[in-house]
Structure 1
Amino acid sequence: MLLTVLALASVGLSSPVDAQRPAGGQHVVAKAVAKKDPRKTRGLFVDPRMPAANHGAPYKKALGTKAQALWIIPEAYATMRVRSVVRAYTSRALKARKTPMLTVYGIPGRDCGGQSSSGALKNATQYRAWIRQIAAGLKQQRALVILEPDALPLFSGSGCASPPAGWVAMLRFASKTLSKSGAWVYLDAGHSNWTPYDNRPTLLKQAGVAYDRGISTNVSNFRPTGDEQRYAATMLAGLRKLGVRGKHYVVDTSRNGAAPSSDGYDVLNPLWARVGKAPRLVFKGAFDGTLWVKHPGESDGQVNGGSSSGTWCDMLADRLLTGSSSESSCPE
């Protein structure tokens, strides 16, 4: 669960199913066009500006050579400049003939009543304006977008005493607006251990997943990939029962290389966590592939030797890679 805001230092289009599907011969043409989408043949963009690529040769080789998402958060990229930031990043990716990957993480109340850092969005009006600018930056850029990690399961469950008013409508607006830009949007669905989730397909539908490419799971968490694939299959089956078909999913494998603790609640810089399978798009049925959404080596907060949330720490990277480190905690 993303319990704290990321530090500022970190740096096709799927319409509602069936409602807009062409009939007859047009459907065949549409399928032929879809097969030519460059995201199905290009690799993911490895951004040389990511943290691991700039903290020494061992980390650059082990982690910095892997594609990771650029996190778009309002504290770092306010409404007035977020469009240009997004376009600059996606343009660099496309110049390299690779697919850009971004995480949009800015919905009001994402900290569930905690003290948001300066610059956080306060209401739906501000959020919609911010999302519109992100969509403008994404237009025709053929990007992948992970939309609002944790928001839907957190706001709909017992983990958030005061979810923001209108959160479902905000997610629906973001799903529709970002998907219309041409991005493949994956609305975050939490993970397999975030229970109960019987009503989650209904909430995903209400939050606009029909506009999206599909869902993301395990973002910044540690659940085994097999568990996540079964969980995603359950979500997609539930959506099909609700008339939402043809959805896909991706799994964050950045830190799921070891079996998690038995209770499932040790999720802040856990001592047992290891780096997981490398990011790779595979397009096998509904499974689009593995991604590194969380940046391995960045702290979850001042727990288990970690530093402030979102900051890089050599010790945490060493622990993920080898299970040991010469340091017992991150320097502040």
Structure 2
Amino acid sequence: MAAVVVAVLASVVVISYSGWWNPSNTESLAGRDPANAELYIDPDMQSIAAAREDARFDPIATTPQAKWFTDWSTSETVQDDVGDYLDGAAAADAVPTVVLYRIPQRDCGSWSTGGAADEQEYRDWVKGAAAELKGHDDALVIIEPDALPQLGKCEQGDRLDTLTFAVDALATTGARVYIDAGHENWLSAAEAADRLSKVGVDKVRGFSLNVAAHYTTQREIAYAEDVRSELSKLGITDVHYVIDTGRNGAGPQGDNCNPPGARLGHEPQLFEGDALDGFLWVKNPGETDGACRGGPASGFWAPAALDLLGLDQDERTSSQLSAGWIRLGAVGGAGLVGLVAWALARRRTRDRLRGAAEHAARQVP
């Protein structure tokens, strides 16, 4: 009996932690060479804390994601804040992904409203972040998601000048810097190229797309190449890009604020030898988009995470199932039955997740 229990337990471990992506999927479907570098998993991610309470969130908690520096990080603390994160990545020998998201009049008063009080405070903040990033040529830095596409949407001062200042400051760091350019359904490729050129995309690595959005990877790659073509007409060549694939597994959604139909997309992967530098999870999956659809204004929100995983809201947690098995285990043979049931439940969860990933995979050329 003990041997059988051990064998079944071993299978449970494999089911639970072997992963729900085939590591070769992204490589072969993208048709590009994966870079020999691991992205950093920040131990302070909110999904990690959530997964300690509910193992269903493990696929999110164990996947590298970006670190957002927003209003919680001030001009006085930003150097320490960024430095602590970079130190953690260096200790893990992994690539950090930094998102700077504090421009004045951020999101024009919408779900992610906020930002620095004025342009001078923002400039001081950016200078502090740039000072700490200097010499970190492995770091990925995404500048102000949505700020460039929202140009002129609200009273925002001289946003072009503000963004140009940020680009200039970060261009001196050696980091791989990307200016956010929205997504395929926001600006035409020509307009995106024009705006990118005005803020100095030629001084940095390139641009980012699909941050916090849900457009398919295939179409975002096509859009990115159109933007690059328009940039070349302006005399700007050798521009690279990254795509947020964290929540685009089910394609475009009717509402981008905590949409229940969204699913996880391709796992993060860096590439080399091509204009596409990587798929990233920029927007942290499972964290709310704002106070919509019953969600909180900020933070990890279990219903959104369960939606992305394709799980039912009322399904018992893995920890509950595990506890049920332990209770049954006290009565001998019944314990084995409980363990097998738990393993099957975990397998069903994995199959649902794999189905979501395979659906996303079919979207990539």
Task: Give the TM-score taking structure 1 as reference length.
Answer: 0.79
**Cα distance 1:244–1:220, how it changes in 2: closer, same or farther (>3 A)?**
same
Q: 1:220·1:293 contact (CA, 8 Å) conserved in 2? A: yes
Identity across matched positions, percent: 38
Alpha-carbon separation, structure 2, partners of 1:114 and 1:231: 26
Match of 2:314 in 1: 326
**Cα distance 1:116–1:257, how it changes in 2: closer, same or farther (>3 A)?**
closer
Match of 2:305 in 1: 317
**Cα distance 1:195–1:181, how it changes in 2: closer, same or farther (>3 A)?**
closer
Give the alignment partner of residue 223 of structure 2, picking from 221, 226, 231: 231
User: Displacement, 1:176?
Assistant: 1.6
User: Displacement, 1:114?
Assistant: 6.2
Q: Does 1:98 align with 2:87?
A: no
Alpha-carbon separation, structure 2, partners of 1:183 and 1:201: 22
Match of 1:286 in 2: 275
SS in 2 for 1:149: coil
Match of 2:296 in 1: 307
User: Displacement, 1:304?
Assistant: 2.4
Q: 2:246·2:264 contact (CA, 8 Å) conserved in 1? A: yes
Give the alignment partner of residue 161 of structure 1, picking from 154, 162, 183: 154
Task: Give the TM-score taking structure 2 as reference length.
Answer: 0.72
Alpha-carbon separation, structure 1, partners of 2:262 and 2:245: 11
Match of 1:62 in 2: 59
User: Displacement, 1:213?
Assistant: 0.5
**Cα distance 1:195–1:269, how it changes in 2: closer, same or farther (>3 A)?**
same
* Alignment size in residue pairs: 279
Which whole-Å deviations, capped at 9, do the CAs of 1:101-126 have from their partners, x for residues lacking one? 110001111132569877x3132222
Match of 2:263 in 1: 274
If each structure's helix is expressed as a fraction of its own residues, which one has the higher value? 2
Q: Does 1:184 align with 2:176?
A: yes
Matches within 5 A, 1:128-147: 128-142=123-137, 143-147=139-143
User: Displacement, 1:283?
Assistant: 2.1
User: Displacement, 1:60?
Assistant: 5.0
SS in 2 for 1:112: helix
Q: 1:106·1:127 contact (CA, 8 Å) conserved in 2? A: yes
Match of 1:47 in 2: 42
**Cα distance 1:78–1:109, how it changes in 2: closer, same or farther (>3 A)?**
same
User: Displacement, 1:197?
Assistant: 4.7
Q: 1:48·1:64 contact (CA, 8 Å) conserved in 2? A: no
Alpha-carbon separation, structure 2, partners of 1:240 and 1:197: 12
**Cα distance 1:115–1:199, how it changes in 2: closer, same or farther (>3 A)?**
closer
Q: More deviation in 194-203 or 100-109?
A: 194-203
Which whole-Å deviations, capped at 9, do the CAs of 1:188-217 have from their partners, x for residues lacking one? 000011144532211101111111100000
Q: 1:69·1:101 contact (CA, 8 Å) conserved in 2? A: yes
Match of 2:145 in 1: 149
User: Displacement, 1:183?
Assistant: 1.1
Give the alignment partner of residue 71 of structure 1, picking from 47, 68, 73: 68
Which whole-Å deviations, capped at 9, do the CAs of 1:59-102 have from their partners, x for residues lacking one? 552111111111011x2010011001101110110111111111
Alpha-carbon separation, structure 1, partners of 2:129 and 2:238: 25
Which whole-Å deviations, capped at 9, do the CAs of 1:31-78 have from their partners, x for residues lacking one? xxxxxxxx95321111121111111242552111111111011x2010
Q: 2:189·2:223 contact (CA, 8 Å) conserved in 1? A: no
SS in 1 for 2:108: coil
Q: Gaps spanning 5+ residues in structure 1: where? A: 1-38, 328-332
Alpha-carbon separation, structure 1, partners of 2:111 and 2:305: 28
